[in-house]
Amino acid sequence: MKKEEDFSEWYNEIVELANLTDKRYPIKGMNVWTPYGWKIMRHIDTFIRQECDVTGHDEVCFPLLIPETEFQKEKDHIKGFDAEVYWVTHAGLNELDIKLLLRPTSETAMYPIFALWVRSHSDLPLKTYQIVNTFRYETKMTRAFIRVREIHFFESHTCHVDYDDAQRQVEEDFVILEQIMKRLCLPYLLLKRTDWDKFPGAFYTVGVDTLMPEGKSLQLGSIHHYKENFSRPYDIKYEAADGSMKYCHQTTFGMSERLLGAVVGVHGDDKGLALPPEIAPFQVVIIPILAKGKVEAVSAEAQKLKQELAAAGIRVVLDDKDERPGSKFYNWEIKGVPLRLELGMRDIEGGKVSYAVRLDGRKGTFDRGQVVAQVKETLETIVKQMQEGAKERMFGRIQTIESADTIPSKVVRFGWCGDPECGHAFEQKTELKLLGTPYTGENFKGKCIICGKETDKAAYAARAM
Applying CB under 5 A, which residues contact Zn ion? 417, 419, 422, 448, 450-451
Burial class (CB in 10 A: 0-12, 13-18, 19+), 462: buried
Closest by Cα among 211, 220, 214, 212 to 260: 220
Closer Cβ to Zn ion, 168 or 429, answer by number: 429
Closer Cβ to Zn ion, 309 or 422, answer by number: 422
Q: Under a CB-based contact definition with an 8 Å cutoff, are residues 343 and 301 in contact?
A: yes
Q: How far is the CB of 450 from Zn ion (least distance, A)?
A: 5
The residue type found at 425 is A
Closer Cβ to Zn ion, 334 or 450, answer by number: 450
Q: How far is the CB of 315 from Zn ion (least distance, A)?
A: 52
Closer Cβ to Zn ion, 357 or 448, answer by number: 448
Closest by Cα among 4, 387, 426, 414 to 215: 4
Cα–Cα distance measured from residue 372 to residue 70, given in angstroms and rounded to the nearest whole number: 56
Q: Under a CB-based contact definition with an 8 Å cutoff, are residues 22 and 31 in contact?
A: yes
Closer Cβ to Zn ion, 112 or 446, answer by number: 446
Closer Cβ to Zn ion, 229 or 455, answer by number: 455
Q: How far is the CB of 448 from Zn ion (least distance, A)?
A: 3
Q: How far is the CB of 417 from Zn ion (least distance, A)?
A: 3
Q: How do beta strands 189-192 and 204-211 pair?
A: antiparallel
Cα–Cα distance measured from residue 137 to residue 142, given in angstroms and rounded to the nearest whole number: 10
Q: How far is the CB of 195 from Zn ion (least distance, A)?
A: 15
Q: How far is the CB of 64 from Zn ion (least distance, A)?
A: 45
Name the percent of the chain in helix, strand, coil, to the closest 5.
35, 30, 35
Closer Cβ to Zn ion, 154 or 460, answer by number: 460
Closest by Cα among 230, 176, 159, 224 to 198: 224
Closer Cβ to Zn ion, 377 or 402, answer by number: 402
Q: Under a CB-based contact definition with an 8 Å cutoff, are residues 321 and 288 in contact?
A: no
Per-residue CA distances from 40 to 19, 65, 205, 279, 283 (Å): 12, 28, 28, 6, 11
Q: Which residues contact 351 (CB under 8 A, 6 or more apart)?
A: 367, 368, 369
Cα–Cα distance measured from residue 463 to residue 101, given in angstroms and rounded to the nearest whole number: 31
Q: How far is the CB of 459 from Zn ion (least distance, A)?
A: 10
Closest by Cα among 177, 187, 182 to 398: 187
Cα–Cα distance measured from residue 131 to residue 114, given in angstroms and rounded to the nearest whole number: 18
Closer Cβ to Zn ion, 113 or 425, answer by number: 425
Q: How far is the CB of 422 from Zn ion (least distance, A)?
A: 3
Q: How far is the CB of 437 from Zn ion (least distance, A)?
A: 13
